Structure 1
Amino acid sequence: MMRRDTRKTRAVSAGLLAAALVLTGCGGFGQREMDPETRRQLEQSGALAPRDRDTIWDLFNNRDDPNVTVEVNRYLWQASLEILDFMPIEAADPFSGVISFGYGTPPGGGQAYRATVFVTDPALEARSLRVALQSRGGAVNRETARQIEDAILTRARQLRIRDGRL
């Protein structure tokens, strides 16, 4: 009995694999061409693969330059770590630009906070940084989060100026 079920499972798996291969071979039959300006914007944002990638297998060719794959501002990244050093780091991903901090109490403060920092752009600009701040009691005033953003931006500019003197 067990042997028959195994054969049936293998047959179903083989059939699903064959169907998947056939479907991946089907190109864009019946699809309209995208507006060139829309395509360019989507390619630049990374939401759409460039035209030189025709199939899913082209993603594994590793043609990307390793020096430009991390696209976050290093000064904002470092400044975030320095300004929020009283909080433990729970997760950090330089490829997506996200740093998640656990609860920590600032020096001289009595309330614990946790934060998530999102560095969205390689430019050293205010629009490249977003900080979400939360206390154990819930959401924190937006002005408090903005003060943290300002402190990070100020420190990032100081780091940039220091490196410019080398």
Structure 2
Amino acid sequence: MVQKTAFRITAALIIVATIGACGPGRTFGSPATARPDVYTDANVRSNIETNPNNTIWSIFNRRSNETNVLVNKYLWSASLEVLNFLPVQSVDPFTGVIVTGYGTPPGGGRSYRATVLIDDPALDARSLNVALQTRGGAAVSRATSRAVEDAILSRARELRIRDNKL
């Protein structure tokens, strides 16, 4: 048991030393076209080379203001409540995205899926973007999308009014 643990620690130290050796001026991997929105070896190299205070460990401390989108909590909760008949596939409260799977609304016969983007902390119609799609892949009519957006906004306002009474 002790030998197994010692082997794992030694292997981890070797990996850390190998990664640490890839400092400024050293190349690794194949050259890739640098795109600021894609995290690649070339981006890490250029980031390290342009800022001499950075090290290979700086990639673990990446903090970007671009991913800090404030999301309105009332719109977020209202979106989940209004679209509760759809199975949630993924949610990301940091970027304000809710992606659902296909589901049939109560009393309806057609399956829909939705993608919701809340991109502003204001309780405002401009903060909410809803994209609906049918199972066949066709976009839903603008009137249907508008009705869903209106239902979410109405519920968000109700939630805000309820919180202010407390």
TM range (shorter): 0.5 to 0.7
% identity of equivalent residues = 54
How far, CA to CA, are the matches of 1:105 and 1:25 in structure 2? 50
How many equivalent residue pairs? Answer: 123
Cα deviations by residue, 1:54-98 (Å, 9 ceiling, x for unpaired): 858397287x9xxxx561001000000110011110111101111
Instruction: Tell me the residue number matched to 1:156.
Output: 156
Cα distance in 1 for residues equivalent to 2:88 and 2:72: 19
Change (3 A) 1:140 1:23: closer
Equivalent in the alignment of 2:121: 122
TM-score (norm 1): 0.64
Relative to structure 1, the CA distance from residue 26 to residue 87 in structure 2 (aligned partners, 3 Å threshold; closer, same or farther) is: closer
Q: Structure 2 matches for 1:1-166, cutoff 5 A?
A: 17-18=22-23, 19-20=26-27, 24=47, 26-27=49-50, 55=54, 57=58, 60=61, 71-137=70-136, 138-166=138-166
Q: Which runs of 4+ in 1 moved over 6 A?
A: none
Say what the alpha-carbon RMSD is for the aligned residues: 3.1
Rate the CA distance shift 1:23–1:90 in 2: closer, same or farther, 3 A: closer
CA deviation string 1:13-38 (max 9, x = no partner): 89x9242598655438xxxxxxxxxx
TM-score (norm 2): 0.64
Instruction: Give secondary structure in 1 for the equivalent of 2:90.
Output: strand
Deviations 1:104-127 (A, max 9, x none): 111111111000111101111111
Cα distance, 1:107–1:23 mapped onto 2, change above 3 Å: closer
Structure 2, unpaired ranges of 5+: 1-17, 28-43
Q: Which runs of 5+ in 1 are unaligned?
A: 1-12, 29-53
